[in-house]
């Protein structure tokens, strides 16, 4: 192959710069973050959230399956017993609840394996991606940092489960909101609770369409679907 002539050697750098010049006039795809924030995709894996049932009880049962599934060892869970709470109160349906819940976002790789492992859909991932912080300690999120906020109509836990229900009724989505009995219990034990007024307005009659249980009959022999 004959060597390149002087003119070809001269034009070789120009061809390279042609790619650069062409990019000057191409549409830009850069997002001017943080001044312009573009919404994330619906299934984006962001900050975790501990969810609640419509009556306010927590979905987390402290089983620690999420911690076992985490490949980065970023989750720490301690389960507590609802039997230790006074006067039949519950933090979650069933026997246990998440007493201590921590996620270390210095370790988390946002893979979502903890979400797949959760048997009650207590743990999901939000679209919140702004997790930077000034201290390492602040990157360890506690339970109160991860709990979903109480919406209007929910009753802050602890309080008893809906009358005539078991944990399986909650798992099947048969509990639609607080009952009159639950509201009365909180009014007796925590009369200054800020969620009482909203819960009272959400209740019509015990077991009614707006008052908690769509199907109060326990169906323990049927398969629980999630």
Q: pTM for the full model?
A: 0.79
Q: Is the pLDDT of residue 225 over 80?
A: no
Q: How confident is the model at residue 211 (pLDDT cuts 50, 70, 90)?
A: low
Binding residue per annotation — 29? no
Spatial separation of the C-alpha atoms in residues 76 and 220, rounded to whole Å = 31
The secondary element (H helix, E strand) that includes residue 79 is strand 75-81
**Mean pLDDT confidence for 86-106:** 96
Binding residue per annotation — 202? no
Residue 2 is predicted with a pLDDT of 64
Instruction: Summarize pLDDT for 119-151 with one digit per residue, the tens.
Output: 999 999 999 999 999 999 999 999 999 999 999
Q: Is the pLDDT of residue 13 over 90?
A: no
Q: What CATH fold (topology level) applies to the domain 48-202? A: Alpha-Beta Plaits (3.30.70)
Residue 213 is predicted with a pLDDT of 62
Contact 212, 206 (CB under 8 A): yes
Binding residue per annotation — 111? yes
Domain ranges in the chain? 48-202
Among 13-17, 63-67, 115-119, where is mean pLDDT lowest? 13-17
Instruction: Work out whether strand 96-104 and strand 123-125 pair parallel, antiparallel, or are unpaired.
Output: unpaired
Cite the DSSP H helix spans in the chain: 6-24, 65-69, 113-117, 143-146, 167-171, 180-189, 196-202
3 φ/ψ angles, rounded to the nearest 5 degrees: -65, 150
Percent residues over pLDDT 90 in the chain: 71
Q: Is the pLDDT of residue 210 over 70?
A: no
Binding residue per annotation — 206? no
Q: Is the pLDDT of residue 205 over 50?
A: no
> How confident is the prediction for the chain on average, in pLDDT?
88
Q: Kindly calculate the radius of gyration of the chain based on its CA atoms and give it in whole angstroms.
A: 27
Q: How confident is the model at residue 111 (pLDDT cuts 50, 70, 90)?
A: very high
Residue 59 is predicted with a pLDDT of 98
Binding residue per annotation — 70? yes
Residue 6 three-state SS = helix
**Mean pLDDT confidence for 51-80:** 97
Binding residue per annotation — 205? no
Identify which has the larger pLDDT, 73 or 14. 73
The secondary element (H helix, E strand) that includes residue 100 is strand 96-104
């Amino acid at each position: 192959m004959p060597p390149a002539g002087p003119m070809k050697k001269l034009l070789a750098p120009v061809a390279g710069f042609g790619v650069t010049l062409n990019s000057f006039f191409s549409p830009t795809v850069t997002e001017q973050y943080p001044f312009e924030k573009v919404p994330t995709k619906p299934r984006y894996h962001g900050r975790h959230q501990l969810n609640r049932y419509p009556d306010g009880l927590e979905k987390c049962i402290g089983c620690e399956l999420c911690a076992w599934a985490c490949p980065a060892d970023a989750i720490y869970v301690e389960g507590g017993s609802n039997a230790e709470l006074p006067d039949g109160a519950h933090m979650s349906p069933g026997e246990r609840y998440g007493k201590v819940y921590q996620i270390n976002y210095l370790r988390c790789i946002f893979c979502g394996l903890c979400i797949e492992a959760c048997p009650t859909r207590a743990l999901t991932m939000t679209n919140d991606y702004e997790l930077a912080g000034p201290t390492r300690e602040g990157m360890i999120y506690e339970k109160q940092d991860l709990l979903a906020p109480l919406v209007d109509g929910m009753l802050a836990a602890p309080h008893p489960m809906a009358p005539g229900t078991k944990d399986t009724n909650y798992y099947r989505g048969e509990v639609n909101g607080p009952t009159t009995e639950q509201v009365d219990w909180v009014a007796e034990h925590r009369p200054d609770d800020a969620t009482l007024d909203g819960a009272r307005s959400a209740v019509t009659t015990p077991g009614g369409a707006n008052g908690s249980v769509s199907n109060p009959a326990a169906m323990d022999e049927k398969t629980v679907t999630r």
